[in-house]
Structure 1
C-alpha cells in the first residue's frame, strides 16, 4: 500500500529565556524524534495529555512550524525540498475552533475562493462551479456564501472549515480536535460527514483528540504520545481494549464512562516531568507502577510488528 505520509525522526524544540545577546537559557523539547508511516486512506488517531506535543506535531506537518530536525514526506515527496504551494494542494488543516479559524472580515465566498485562486489559479466561473460542488459535499446551502463567519453556529462553521480544506483538493487532512468545541449531537453529524467524505474522496486523516471514545470510533490505528514521544502504536481496537503501555492504560482509566463513578487513577501528588529539565531514562517512570532500575537509565524505543510499544515492562 502506498504511503500518504512518512515522518522520519521529526522533532521540535523551542528556545526559552531568550536574551538580546548570547544563547537562550534553555530549550523545551516539544516533540522528540518521531518516526511514523501513514498509508493512503487510513485514519491515524493521535492521543495524549495536554502538552504532550500533539498540536506541535500537526503544525509541523502543514508547515505552520519548522521542524528542528528530521524529515517529512507527503506522497513520497520530501517537504523540505518542495514548493510549499504544492503541499498546500496535498495536506490541509482543520482547526479546533471553527469560528476563530475563519477570517471575520471576509465572506464565506471570499474564504472559499482563496485556495482556488492561489493554489489552482481558477477563473471566476470555474471557482463558482467548484464551490457549489464542495458545498453540496458538506451539506451547506449556497446562500451561506454571502454571509460572514459570526453568523454561523459552531457545527456550520466547522463544515465551512472542512469545505475550505477540500477546496485545496488536499488528499490528507489534519483534524486537530475537530469536534471538541461542538455539542454532542453536532459532533455526531460532523464525524459522519468526515467518514462519508473519506469514503467518497479517498482521503487520509490524522485525527487529534482528547476524547478517547471518538478516537476509537473513527480511527484505524492510534499513536499515543507522552512528553513529546510516541509510546505506543497499534490498531485502535487493540490499543484501547488491551493497552500495552502503562500510560495508555492510565489514559483509558481516566476517561469518563456513563454509569461509572469518577475516580482518579493516580494520586493528586503525582508530578509531571519538567520540560526544561527532562528526567533521565523513561519520562513516565515516576508515574509508572512497573518501573524498574533499567527505566531510570535508558530511554525505551518503539518495538514490535503490528503493535509497537516503547516500554521495558509492557502490560502484555
Structure 2
C-alpha cells in the first residue's frame, strides 16, 4: 500500500518587491517532483544544504503551502486549509531537539497540545495516552512537570519523538534527528526510532547529511540537487553503484576510515545561481561528463536498471 504520494509538488518564493510592489524575481526552491513512499518504508532524503530538503518536508506537513502539486496520504489528498488533517496523518521531528520545544511550557503541556486540539481528549484520556507514549520512548513520568531546558539533547529528542507520536500519525518526517546529538547518543535514538517504527507500523522520511546513517536506516534513497530529484533507488544500490554523477560526488565526499581526505571536485566548480539557474542540467558546471546537450536540455528522471531512476543524459554504468 502507498503511504505517501507526491505529484508535481513545487515551491517558489518571491524575491524583492515590497508591500505595494510586485516581486522582482522568484526562487524555485523545489521544482516539480513526483515520488511515492510505501507503507512501513523508510525513505532517506539526502543532498547538500540548499537543495530543498527542508522546504519539501515543510510542505509535506503543511507548514508551507505548495506552489503547485498534490500530496496524498493513503490515497486521500491533503488540503492546507485543514491543518488537523495533516496533524493526524503526518508529523515532524525537528533537527534541534531543545529549540523545537516551547521553553515556557512544561513537557506535560507540550504533550497535551495535540491530544486536545486534534482529538479533544479529556484530562484522564490525555494522561493515559501520555503514559503510554512515555513508556514507548523510555522516559520517566516525572519528566512531565519539567521544562525543556532541564534536559540533555538526547532526552529532548526523545520528547520530540514522543510529541510526534501523540498525534498517532501514519508518517513521521525526521529532519536531521541525530545531527545535534553526541555520537554516543545517536545510536540510542536510532535504535529507538527503529523500535517505534515496528511497534506503531510507521512510515519514515529520514532527512540527513550523514550518508552512513541514511544508508543504514533507509530502505530507499532519494537524492536532491538544486530543488529536484536526480536519483532514487534502494539504499545499498544507490551508494554502491550510483547512476548520477552527483550521487557519486556525495558518496566520494563522505569521510571513510582509512581513506585519505581529498577534494572531490576541481577548484573552479561552483553551485548554480538560484536567481539565474542554468537552462539545461543544474549540475552541468560541476559534472565531468557534461556535454553540449547537458547545457541546453534538462534531463528527466528515468529508469536505469531494475530498481534505480536517475535524471542524467550520461548516467554512470551500473
Name the TM-score, length of structure 1 as normaliser.
0.98
Partner of 2:85: 86
Partner of 1:268: 267
Query: Quick check: 2:65–2:80 contact (8 Å CA) kept in 1?
Result: no
Aligned-residue offset at 1:81:
7.3
Partner of 2:310: 309
Unaligned ranges ≥5, structure 1: none
Bigger Cα displacement from structure 2, 13-22 vs 216-225: 13-22
1: CA distance between counterparts of 2:172 and 2:278? 34
Aligned-residue offset at 1:84:
2.2
Partner of 1:147: 146
1: CA distance between counterparts of 2:80 and 2:116? 24
Partner of 2:180: 181
1: CA distance between counterparts of 2:299 and 2:173? 28
Counterparts of 1:211-290 in structure 2, within 5 Å, are 211-290=210-289
Partner of 2:21: 22
Deviation digits for residues 271-295 of structure 1, max 9, x if unmatched?
1100000001000011111111111
2: CA distance between counterparts of 1:183 and 1:13? 36
Moved over 3 A (4+): none
Aligned-residue offset at 1:75:
1.3
Partner of 1:50: 49
State the secondary structure of the residue aligned to 1:4.
strand
Query: Quick check: 1:43–1:206 contact (8 Å CA) kept in 2?
Result: yes
Partner of 1:77: 76
2: CA distance between counterparts of 1:113 and 1:12? 32
Unaligned ranges ≥5, structure 2: none
2: CA distance between counterparts of 1:298 and 1:212? 30
Relative to structure 1, the CA distance from residue 19 to residue 82 in structure 2 (aligned partners, 3 Å threshold; closer, same or farther) is closer
2: CA distance between counterparts of 1:300 and 1:151? 50
RMSD of the TM alignment (CA)? 1.0
Q: Number of matched residues?
A: 315
Query: Quick check: 1:11–1:33 contact (8 Å CA) kept in 2?
Result: yes
Query: Quick check: 2:79–2:85 contact (8 Å CA) kept in 1?
Result: no
1: CA distance between counterparts of 2:267 and 2:195? 42
State the secondary structure of the residue aligned to 1:89.
helix
2: CA distance between counterparts of 1:225 and 1:25? 27
Deviation digits for residues 16-46 of structure 1, max 9, x if unmatched?
1123333211101000001010110000000
Aligned-residue offset at 1:82:
6.9
State the secondary structure of the residue aligned to 2:259.
coil
Partner of 1:295: 294
Query: Quick check: 1:71–1:80 contact (8 Å CA) kept in 2?
Result: no
Counterparts of 1:157-176 in structure 2, within 5 Å, are 157-176=156-175
1: CA distance between counterparts of 2:126 and 2:190? 27
1:106 lines up with 2:135 in the alignment: no
Partner of 2:12: 13
2: CA distance between counterparts of 1:60 and 1:86? 13
2: CA distance between counterparts of 1:269 and 1:279? 17
Aligned-residue offset at 1:243:
0.4
Partner of 1:194: 193
Aligned-residue offset at 1:132:
0.5
Partner of 1:63: 62
Query: Quick check: 1:52–1:228 contact (8 Å CA) kept in 2?
Result: yes
Aligned-residue offset at 1:268:
2.7
Aligned-residue offset at 1:269:
2.4
